[in-house]
């Protein structure tokens, strides 16, 4: 049994996570049962517990998975150039990444209140690490003399909120492509921090 | 009976709305029952229906009430000066208003998915009217030659997201007062739209 379970878990695990993500985003964490998640992927409710100890573990895994992926990819996108080039890469990466994952973004914000305290602390630590990356770029640009940012922490939070807001209104069939939107946002961020 | 009910409804109605707001923000609309709301204000579940036809009507009323109040107060705050003065007033008003109402802000974003389609359309129309106010200021500043805003619609959405983001992290006991935060945000918005 263990072998059979193992040989399918690399397929079933991601399918469970996808189903949980969709259902949490659609109905809210509190309103979704493990039975519903199991039914969505064609498992008996009992079998679901072979993959995850409970619904809380599933939520935590979705949130930390999202943030760890965000951290790894943003590091690659950012590169090692001067601060302004790194900031532009950060802005364009952040918009593209979040537009591709509206359910993850929605859950990451909305379901924070449903995390148990130590899980909340884990998620907040990851989010803080991502914010720290942007704050380091702003501080570097200030040191280079190309940015004027009186409070790098507040500017970090302002820029991230501005960029993430795109997910609440962007539609692929709308008047602007994702690239055009990213260009407009980069122009605004550039001016916001300009010396 | 009608007279008695009428004479208390100006007190009980707001108490029901406050209880619903608190419970929706804490647990999510889907997870809260009419019975819980009634119990929170010391009513029998049946008596609650004297004040509101159902939970959906309560949610709609919370959202439209929030946005109508926002529209009325922002109009007064904005005044009729030149575009830059109106923009500063808009920024400072928006931050102060939203910091005073974290539960309303949270629900206004999070529970959109739980509105029935025609209710969603009503809420979206009000939100659009608020966005239109800011867009009109940006367009006026462009006409006056003091703002450089290539896309007033996108700049509107970007500025509102940036400002509303304050509610996700601001704590009254933190290192900055609400006024100091508003000053930093006004400085960033001013630069974002500057000619």
Residue B95 has pLDDT above 90, yes or no: yes
Mean pLDDT of A63-86: 94
Chain B residue with CA closest to A105: the answer is: B110
| Average pLDDT, rounded, for chain B | 92
Q: What is the pLDDT of residue B4?
A: 46
pLDDT band at A12 (very low <50, low <70, confident <90, very high): confident
B151 closest CB neighbour out of A31, A184, A193: A184
Residue B2 has pLDDT above 80, yes or no: no
Q: What is the pLDDT of residue A7?
A: 46
Domain A1-52 grouped into CATH 1.10.10: yes
Q: What is the pLDDT of residue B109?
A: 82
Q: What is the pLDDT of residues B121-133, one digit of tens each?
A: 999 999 999 999 9
The domain segmentation of chain B, as residue ranges, is: 1-52, 54-193
Which residues from A are below 8 Å from B28, CB to CB?
28-31
CATH superfamily assigned to domain A54-193: Tetracycline Repressor, domain 2 (1.10.357.10)
CA distance B33 to chain A (A): 12
Residue A167 has pLDDT above 60, yes or no: yes
CA distance A46 to chain B (A): 24
Residue A2 has pLDDT above 60, yes or no: no
Interface pTM, i.e. ipTM? 0.89
Residues in B whose CB is inside 8 Å of some CB of A read 26-31, 109-110, 113, 150-151, 154-155, 157-162, 164-166, 168-169, 176, 181, 184-185, 187-188, 191-194
Please indicate whether, in this complex, the C-beta atoms of B181 and A113 are within 8 angstroms of each other: no
pLDDT band at A40 (very low <50, low <70, confident <90, very high): very high
Three-state secondary structure of chain B: CHHHHHHHHHHHHHHHHHHHHHHHHHHCHHHCCHHHHHHHCCCCHHHHCCCCCCHHHHHHHHHHHHHHHHHHHHHHHHCCCCHHHHHHHHHHHHHHHHHCCHHHHHHHHHCHHHCCHHHHHHHHHHHHHHHHHHHHHHHHHHHHCCECCCCHHHHHHHHHHHHHCHHHHCCCCCCCCHHHHHHHHHHHHHHHHEC
Chain B residue with CA closest to A176: the answer is: B154
């Amino acid at each position: 049994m263990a072998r059979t379970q193992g040989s399918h878990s690399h397929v079933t695990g991601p399918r469970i996570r996808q189903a949980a993500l969709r259902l949490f985003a659609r109905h809210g964490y509190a309103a979704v049962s493990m039975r519903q998640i199991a039914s969505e992927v064609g498992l008996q409710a009992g079998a679901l517990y072979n993959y995850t100890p409970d619904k809380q573990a599933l939520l935590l895994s979705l949130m930390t998975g999202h943030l760890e992926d965000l951290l790894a990819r943003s590091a690659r996108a950012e590169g090692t150039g001067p601060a302004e080039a790194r900031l532009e890469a950060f802005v364009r990466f952040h918009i593209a990444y979040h537009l591709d994952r509206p359910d993850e973004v929605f859950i990451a914000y909305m379901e924070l209140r449903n995390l148990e305290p130590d899980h909340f602390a884990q998620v907040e630590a990851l989010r803080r690490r991502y914010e720290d990356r942007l704050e380091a770029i702003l501080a570097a640009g200030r040191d280079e003399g190309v940015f004027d940012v009186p409070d790098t922490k507040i500017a970090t939070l302002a820029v991230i909120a501005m960029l993430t807001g795109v997910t609440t209104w962007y539609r692929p069939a709308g008047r602007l492509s994702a690239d055009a939107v990213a260009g407009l946002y980069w122009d605004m961020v550039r001016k916001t921090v300009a010396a």
